Amino acid sequence: MSCSRSTNMHKDITQKLFALAQGAKSIVVTTHINSDGDGMVASLALQMLLKMNGLASTLVTDGEDISRYGFLMRDQVVEPFHDQMRCDLCIVLDCNSFDRIGNRRLLVDTAINVVVLDHHVVEHNPIPATLSLIDHAYGSVGILLWHCLKSAISKLDASSRKYIADCVYVTILNDSNNFSNANTNHAMFATAAELAREGILPHLLHMAYLQNHSAKEMLYVGKSLANIRLLADDSFLFLHSDYALAQELEINPSDYMSVTRWVQGVSGLKAIAYFREDHPGDWKISLRSLELNVQEIAARYGGGGHRKASGLSLKGSLQEVQQIIFSALQTAHPIS
C-alpha cells in the first residue's frame, strides 16, 4: 500500500477539470450502479463545487432511491438516467469500469470529454477518459476530491466549504465504515481533522448517515442475520437476504445499507460472504476478508473492489451461487 504517499503527493487537478467544465455546454456527474455513500455523496459535493463556480451540472442516477442522503440535499439537480440524455462532459466518480456503470455507458460513449476520478483498482473494461485520476491510496473518492480539488475548494465561502466537508466526511463514514475498515489510516484521520477544522459535526453526521435506520430495515437486517451459516471449519461466514424477504417487507434491497457491516468483526473468520437476491435468481454478493484476496474472486466473475472488500453478481439458485463462492474462497490467494 502506498498510504504514506497519499499524504504527500496530492495531485491538484483543479485547473484541468475546470478547463474541461468551462468548455462544456452540459455537464453530467455520475457514479457506479448500486451507488453508495461515497460515489453519490462525492457527486453531491462536486456538483456544489461546480455550482459555486457558475457551472451547472446534472447528477445522473440509475433511478435508485437516494432519500437517505436527504440531509445533504441543497437544491441539487438530480435526474434518473434515460436513453435520450447527452452531455458534453461526463464526470464519473468512484468507478473506472464500464462493468459498473450500467446503461449510463451511453453518456460516456457520447460525451465529448470524460473525467474519471476513482480509488478502485482498475479491472475489466476501463472507461477511457480525457482526464483521469485513479489512486487506491485514497480511502474514499470523497477524500480524493478534497485533496485533488483543494485549490478550488479553498476559494469557496465558509458555508460552502463546510457543506463539502460534510459530504467528504460522509464518504469516509461510508467507505471506512466509521473508521473501522482496513483502509483507515493516517491520511484518513488527517483528512478528517481538516474537515473538523471546517466546522463539521461528526456526531451528527454519524447519526444522520449511519444510524438512520427504519424499523423495517432493522427487520431486514435481523432476518438476514438469522441466516448465518458457518462453513470450512467455521472459517467462512455466509449469510443471505433472499427476494422473498424483500417482498415480504415490501422493500427494494438495493436501497438499504450493507448488511455485511453487522457481521464485520465476528471472531475466528477467514472470510464473509453476503448474498442478496435483488431479483429472482439474481444475486449481488459482497465478500470481506482480512486474509484472502477477495478482489481476485470478484474480478473473475466481472465484479471488482478492493483486496479485502469486493463485490460481484451471479445468477442461479442460492445453493449454486454459494457453491461457486465457497470453492473460490477455498482456493483464494492470501493477501500478500
Using CB under 5 A as the binding rule, whether residue 99 contacts Mn ion is answered as no
Length, in residues, of the chain: 336
Cα separation, 107 vs 88, whole angstroms = 9
Using CB under 5 A as the binding rule, whether residue 175 contacts Mn ion is answered as yes
Residue nearest to Mn ion (CB): 38
Cα separation, 214 vs 68, whole angstroms = 11
CB nearer to Mn ion: give 20 or 41. Answer: 41
- Contact region with Mn ion (CB under 5 A), list: 50-58, 78-86, 89-97, 315-323: 89-97
Cα separation, 281 vs 320, whole angstroms = 10
Among 94, 99, 135, 242, binds Mn ion (CB under 5 A): 94
76 three-class SS: coil
Q: How many residues bind Mn ion (CB under 5 A)?
A: 3
CB nearer to Mn ion: give 134 or 271. Answer: 134
Among 29, 38, 188, 269, binds Mn ion (CB under 5 A): 38
- Contact region with Mn ion (CB under 5 A), list: 33-41, 124-132, 156-164, 319-327: 33-41
Q: For residue 335, give the C-alpha cell.
A: 493477501
Using CB under 5 A as the binding rule, whether residue 242 contacts Mn ion is answered as no
In whole angstroms, the minimum distance from the beta carbon of 118 to Mn ion comes to: 8
CB nearer to Mn ion: give 253 or 305. Answer: 305
Cα separation, 165 vs 334, whole angstroms = 36
In whole angstroms, the minimum distance from the beta carbon of 242 to Mn ion comes to: 27
Q: Which residue spans within the chain are E strands per DSSP?
A: 27-31, 58-61, 78-80, 89-93, 113-118, 131-134, 229-231, 236-241, 271-279, 282-288, 304-305, 309-315
Using CB under 5 A as the binding rule, whether residue 118 contacts Mn ion is answered as no
In whole angstroms, the minimum distance from the beta carbon of 171 to Mn ion comes to: 7
**Whether the Cβ atoms of residue 275 and residue 316 lie closer than 8 Å to each other:** no
CB nearer to Mn ion: give 10 or 119. Answer: 119
Residue 125's contacts (CB-CB under 8 Å, 6 or more residues apart) are 97, 98, 99
In whole angstroms, the minimum distance from the beta carbon of 111 to Mn ion comes to: 22
Return residues touching Mn ion (CB under 5 A). 38, 94, 175
